[in-house]
Amino acid sequence: MNLNMPELPEVEAVRRLISRTLVGAPLTDVFVAEDSLVFPRQRAAELVEVLAGACLRSVGRKGKYFWLDFGSVSLLGHLGMSGWVRSLGTGEKRLISHGKAPLDNEAGEPKFLKMSLTAGDSRVVFTDGRRLARYWLTPDGAVDPAVAKLGPDMLDSPYSAESLGVVLATRSAPIKSLLLDQALFAGVGNWVADEVLYHAGIAPARPAKEISKHEVAALADSLREVVRLAVEAEADDSKYPSEWLFHVRWGGRHGAETHLGHAIERTTVGGRTAAWVPAKQV
């Protein structure tokens, strides 16, 4: 089954949440779990020493990476497949992959807690049940090598039809595979790619260089619109348009066999599951 792993809209929602809850005040309490997978470059004690008392200046993002800028140092993060960030006491925003189980344990603490940052009355927690998220200290998150290798961010620097045409013109890989290439489409993941292709009317296995000029224009428009609407909804899928494939694409108990009267196919393209509607995508 596909999981609703964090993609650009979800990571942007996390960036905005941290920005409105922690920016401008010193961290009065910092907890970091000892986990060499989630925190591969610094031990928990070092992270606590650096962050405790520090004042968060801003929160940046590019693609699926985000960073907390404390001035002389940044905390750079990637949510992986199941990492998440919540502000306690402000309601539960969850992904499809979280299911319906409580996010907190019987003691009221977040399950799978990896880090907790508190400033004043605001406490933001970072969780990950599968230990695939990554966080590390870096001098400047905006120029860290992990961020520097990314291509254009699909919210901040979307392609025009003309520039997208240049990107696709000589590439024979399936268009779905290219959309997932972070060196070309930073922030696009599996569900965003499927949604974009559905609205553009393009089958996921089509070789990129065979897409017509008219289709490239539709793809550029769809990419901008899907990302824009998902970000405006702060990744709350209950606010996504009812006609979006998102609501039925997942398969299993989360999905369906048809969408608006047309059969949904779930096939593998470039090693990833693609959900698409052959009656609407050619």
| Domain total in the chain | 2
Q: Hey, what are 44's tokens?
A: 């928990």
Model confidence pLDDT, tens digit, residues 129-140: 999 999 999 999
128 and 192 fall within a common domain: no
129 and 21 fall within a common domain: yes
135 and 15 fall within a common domain: yes
Mean pLDDT check: name the lowest of 95-109, 185-199, 200-214, 220-234.
Answer: 95-109
Residue 21, domain member (yes or no): yes
The predicted model gives 107-114 an average pLDDT of 88
Instruction: Please identify, among 96, 119, 148, the residue that sits at the C-terminal boundary of a domain.
Output: 148
| CATH number where 16 lies | 3.20.190.10
Angle at 8 between CA 66 and CA 92, to 5 degrees: 85
The predicted model gives 210-228 an average pLDDT of 98
Residue 3, domain member (yes or no): no
pLDDT of residue 2: 36
Quick check: 5 pLDDT over 90? no
Model confidence pLDDT, tens digit, residues 68-86: 999 999 999 999 999 999 9
134 and 180 fall within a common domain: no
Quick check: 226 pLDDT over 80? yes
Instruction: Please identify, among 124, 148, 172, the residue that sits at the C-terminal boundary of a domain.
Output: 148
Determine the angle formed by the axes of helices 213-232 and 190-200, rounding to 10 degrees.
Answer: 130
118 and 57 fall within a common domain: yes
Mean pLDDT of the chain: 93
Quick check: 100 pLDDT over 90? no
Model confidence pLDDT, tens digit, residues 151-196: 999 999 999 999 999 999 999 999 999 999 999 999 999 999 999 9
Residue 195, domain member (yes or no): yes
14 and 124 fall within a common domain: yes
Residue 281, domain member (yes or no): no
Residues contacting 188, CB < 8 A, separation 6+: 7, 8, 154, 179, 180, 182, 196, 223
Quick check: 3 pLDDT over 50? no
Mean pLDDT check: name the lowest of 75-89, 91-105, 165-179, 202-216.
Answer: 91-105
143 and 26 fall within a common domain: yes
Residues contacting 198, CB < 8 A, separation 6+: 245, 276, 277, 280, 281
Mean pLDDT check: name the lowest of 89-103, 145-159, 164-178, 204-218.
Answer: 89-103
144 and 17 fall within a common domain: yes
pLDDT of residue 1: 30
Model confidence pLDDT, tens digit, residues 234-264: 999 999 999 999 999 987 666 789 999 999 9
122 and 222 fall within a common domain: no
The Cα–Cα gap between 159 and 12 comes to 19
Range of the domain at 94: 8-148
Residue 156, domain member (yes or no): no
139 and 212 fall within a common domain: no
pLDDT of residue 102: 74
Residue 155, domain member (yes or no): no
* φ, ψ dihedrals at 249, nearest 5°: -75, -15
Quick check: 119 pLDDT over 60? yes
Instruction: Please identify, among 102, 118, 148, the residue that sits at the C-terminal boundary of a domain.
Output: 148
Residue 188, domain member (yes or no): yes
Strand partners, 86: 125
Tell me the CA distances in angstroms from 27 to 17, 53, 68, 106, 118, one per residue in order: 16, 5, 12, 26, 5
**Count of CB atoms situated within 10 Å of the CB of 222:** 18
| CATH number where 240 lies | 1.10.8.50
171 and 118 fall within a common domain: no
% of the chain exceeding 90 in pLDDT: 88
41 and 137 fall within a common domain: yes
pLDDT of residue 250: 85
Quick check: 114 pLDDT over 70? yes
Instruction: Write out the catalytic residue numbers.
Output: 6-7, 64
Model confidence pLDDT, tens digit, residues 38-59: 999 999 999 999 999 999 999 9
